[in-house]
Amino acid sequence: MVEHRPLRDLVAYLVLSLGVVIFAFPVYVAFVASTYDAATVVSGNLPLVPGGRMLENYYRAVFVGGSRFMNQPVGVLLVNSFITAIGIAVGKIIISILSAFAIVYFRFPFRKTAFWIIFITLMLPVEVRIYPTYKVVADLRMLDTYAGLILPLIASATGTLLFRQFFMTVPDELLEASRIDGAGPLRFFWDTLLPLSMTTVAALFVIQFIYGWNQYLWPLLITTKDSMQTIVIGIKKMLTTTDELAEWQLAMATAVLAMLPPVAVVIFMQRLFVKGLVETEK
């Protein structure tokens, strides 16, 4: 830097630390609440240090379930969330890497049209066409199924654009070389292009996993059975009873469990996460 002033660094440390504390505070309070019994939480005098009921609360939330609000333990919801999030991430990667391969490495009639058909989906999030999409899924008898949770959310262009962008940077010499070796398009894709794309695949996986895990409106609409719900909407269900009956300590334990996988992904795969975030927005 231009000039080095200890005071300015101190201010920076203070501002950043304050920010970190503010960011962490709501999650910390939720965690503390998940370690007490219902009476302490409802009393409105929640202590600021964790209590001793953590294991009991988490055990009850994951394996038993609070009987009053939902007849499914959170373990089931966690499994649903994992299947949905991984399904969305993997599904999107497969369809978009294939379509990007076709668009970049082939010349065929309607190529531009196909690109535009895919590209336009960038503009309309699922929220604005929510009821008609619901009807389509209902007509296909996909309500309360994983396919219904997954397929409508992978209909978008971000992955295709990302792979297209990456393929454009792959040197043509590689293709020429594999041609000389007698490789056809699928061989080239599998042996050369796919291994080169692994970082991009991983980055897209991280972003899509978080996106899929955190879905709310769509699973809320198309799941009617408790056994098909995801954990994010499960929390809301737990709190829709009147305040006196809501078991906040279990709801907060569930909230902590619901945050854990995506937050862990961001922290432990930070480089991929940042890469995916920056590149899908281009």
Partner 1 sequence: MEKSVVFNGKLLPYVLLAPQLAITLIFFYWPASQAIWQSFLREDAFGLNSEFVGLENYQALFAQPEYYTAIGTTVVFSSLVTVLSLGVALLFATQADKNLKGASAYKTLMIWPYAVAPAIAGVLWFFIFHPTLGTLARPLRVMGFDWNPMLNGTHAMVLVVMAAVWKQVAYNFLFFLAGLQAIPKSVIEAGAIDGAGPLRRFWTIIFPLLSPTTFFLLVVNIVYVFFETFGIIDAVTSGGPAGTTTTMVYKVFADGRLGGDLGGSAAQSVVLMVIVIALTAIQFRYVERKVQY
Q: 161 to 200, contacts with partner 1 by CB under 8 A?
A: 167-168, 172, 175-176, 184-186, 188
Eight-state DSSP code of residue 129:
G
To partner 1, the closest distance from the beta carbon of 152 in angstroms equals 4
Count the alpha carbons within 13 Å of 215 in the hemisphere toward its beta carbon. 34
Interface residue with partner 1 among 6, 44, 52, 195 (CB under 8 A) is 44
From 42-50, 53-61, 67-75, 193-201, span contacting partner 1 (CB under 8 A): 42-50
Among 7, 39, 55, 107, binds partner 1 (CB under 8 A): 107
Identified binder of partner 1 from the candidate list 74, 77, 103, 272, rule CB under 8 A: 103
Q: Mark 115-154 with x for binding to partner 1 (rule: CB under 8 A) and - for no binding.
A: --xx--xxxxx-xxxxxxx-xxx--x----------xx-x
CB 196 within 8 A of CB 167: no
Tell me the C-alpha distance between 140 and 260, whole Å. Answer: 34
The stretch among 55-63, 64-72, 109-117, 197-205 that binds partner 1 (CB under 8 A) is 109-117
Q: Is 79 in the site for partner 1 (CB under 8 A)?
A: no
Is residue 46 within 8 A of residue 56, CB to CB? The reply is no
The residue within the footprint of partner 1, chosen from 35, 57, 84, 99 (CB under 8 A), is 99
Which residues in 248-267 contact partner 1 (CB under 8 A)? 248, 251-252, 255, 258-259, 262-263, 265-267
Please name which of 84, 85, 96, 121 lies closest in space to residue 201, comparing C-alpha atoms: 96
Give the C-alpha separation, 235 to 133, whole Å: 24
Verify binding: residue 46, partner 1, rule CB under 8 A: yes
Residue among 24 and 64 whose Cβ is closer to partner 1: 24
Contact with partner 1 (CB under 8 A) among 68, 141, 225, 236? 236
When asked if residue 245 is in the footprint of partner 1 (CB under 8 A), the reply is: no
- Report in angstroms how near the CB of residue 151 gets to partner 1 at its nearest: 6
Nearest to 57 by CA among 40, 34, 41, 76: 34
Q: C-alpha distances in angstroms, 31 versus 51, 173, 232, 236, 267?
A: 10, 55, 16, 17, 18
The candidate with the shortest Cα–Cα distance to 158, out of 82, 89, 226, is 89
- Rounded to whole angstroms, how far apart are CA atoms 250 and 225? 20
> Of 56-64, 70-78, 96-104, 197-205, which part binds partner 1 (CB under 8 A)?
96-104
Closest CA to 211 of 265, 160, 146: 265
Question: Could you tell me the end-to-end alpha-carbon distance of the chain, in angstroms, rounded to an integer?
Answer: 29
Binding segment (CB under 8 A) for partner 1, from list 60-68, 72-80, 192-200, 206-214? 206-214
Is position 93 an interface residue for partner 1 (rule: CB under 8 A)? no
